[in-house]
Structure formats: C-alpha cells, structure tokens
Amino acid sequence: MKFKIALAQAPATENYLENLETARNYAHQAQQAGAQLLVFPEMFMSTLAADAKLGPTLAHAQPLDGNFVNGMRELADDLQLWIIFGMRQAPTSSKDQRVKNAVIVVDNEGQIQGTYYKTHLYDAFGVKESQTVAPGKHLFKPLATPFGRIGLFVCYELRFPEIARYQALHAADLLIIPAAWYRGALKERHWQTLLSARALENTVFVADCNLPTSDDCIGDSMVIDPLGVPIAQAGADSQLVVTEIDLARIKAVRRQLPSAKQRQPKLYD
C-alpha cells in the first residue's frame, strides 16, 4: 500500500489563532501535493519558552473541545486529510494543575481517533518540563488507519528505545514523532542518529515533524525507511515535506533483515 505523508515544519507562536491560520495554509499545500496524512510539531497550538512558568503555561492551554482542536477538526474534514498535531491540554483534575503535553489524531472526517499524553518528560539539558507538564500514564497503542498501523510518541521519548519497540511489537508500520527538539551542542547528531536507529532496529518507517530554527529548534524533519535511511528531509527553516511511503517496503526489508523474528526476549529480563 502506498500513500503520501506531509510534514509541516511550521513556525508557531503563543497565539493559537495565528497557529490555526498557519495550519490552514500548510494543510492546503499538503492537499494540493496529494498528501493524505499531515503531521504538525509538538505543542504546535502554542509555543512557549522552555523555562516558561506554570501561570503562562496554563494561560496557553485548552481542553480537547476547545477552539484550537475544533478548528483543526474542521480543517481535516474540509480538506479530507488525516491530521496529527501537538497541543497543551488544560488540566482535567483539580489535584494537579499542570497541563498535559498532548498529541491528537484526527481523521479525514474531523473525528478524533486517538490522543496521546507524553509520558517521558524532558527533564534534561537544564530544562525541567515536569514543572509545568503532568506525565501521561500509558504508552500509545498503535492505531489502525487507512495508512497501516500508526505508532506515536513525542520528541524526548525518542531517547527511550523501549517505546518504539513496544509499538513495533504491537504491529506498528509507521512511527510518528511530533517534536520540539531544541538546538544545542550535539543535538543535531543525537536527533539524526536516534531517528535512524529507531527505524532500523524495528524495521519500520519513522516520520518526525520538528519545529524550525525560528522557534529555537533544529528543524530537520524527515521520513526514514525501515533500513534507517532518510527518504525525505527538511532543512532548518519552515517548509512542508511531502513524500510517498510504500508499506510493502517493510516486508521486503524484513526478508533481508529478519531481526524482529530473531529476538530472544527470555534473555533480556
């Protein structure tokens, strides 16, 4: 099965209305390019500084039935696109006023088909995401779509191979990774190495969508084939990347490299 995926390496601001308009522009471009699945970065609804305090973070959060999600649902329905995007979800419990780092999967009829809350938070390199974000409690179980089974995790979680392996073991064909991967020493090398490793070690496709350098991130969104080789890649600046994925490639690679069948789980405990 073949389909076209689009990665919107799009700039985002604190203003969700501006970001919704940006999403419309990129979605129209994706539709014109023949894409059926469109991915936006982590926290695309509203970007804030890495050291933002809880007050501003709460002020830029919305519920799942808020204006931003409803706008993205309408967009998906209007253009007949599946859309995946990141947002700050407002707290759902009075016991914990931290927001959730959420990723939403919307189908081409505007219906929410999946929601994932980032479980492994970015408490590293001088940043402490857990001060303002409550961790999710469950990994995302791959979702059956017209494009095969989609797995999902977020940015920093790329550094935990167990997450990608869990989804591969649950028959994921494509791992989607919305991200806001900050710039820094060796960060580009880490990004490229880890993405290729997650694809190669699980012999699946990987598609990541990062924020551009205008948002203090590295850009470099890409689609990687099951042998760990990028087949489409953005630069540092804002742009839309569109490429075709052929899921038959997975079986072809696994005939050459049957590592998934050669695992010995009893030895790993």
Exactly one of 100, 129, 155, 217 is catalytic; which is it? 155
Name the token pair of 131.
């001060």
- β-pairing, 100-106 vs 82-89, is antiparallel
Going across the sheet that includes 148-152, the strands are 143-145, 148-152, 174-178, 205-209, 222-224, 230-233
Buried b (16+ CB within 10 A) or exposed e, 221-243: bbbbbbebebebebebebbbbbb
What DSSP assignment string belongs to 42-82? TTTT----TT--HHHHHHT-B-TTSHHHHHHHHHHHHHT-E
Report residue 108 CA to chain centroid gap.
18
**Residue 145: which H helix or E strand, with range?**
strand 143-145
Catalytic annotation present for 14: no
CA torsion 194-200-206-210 (nearest 10°) is 20
Q: Catalytic pick from 42, 129, 157, 217? A: 42
217 is catalytic: no
Choosing from 100, 118, 129, 209, the catalytic residue is 118
93 Cβ contact partners less than 8 Å away, ≥ 6 residues apart: none
Task: Indicate if 157 belongs to the active site.
Answer: no
Q: Which residues contact 183 (CB under 8 A, 6 or more apart)?
A: 213, 216, 217, 218
Give the residue numbers marked as catalytic. Answer: 42, 118, 155
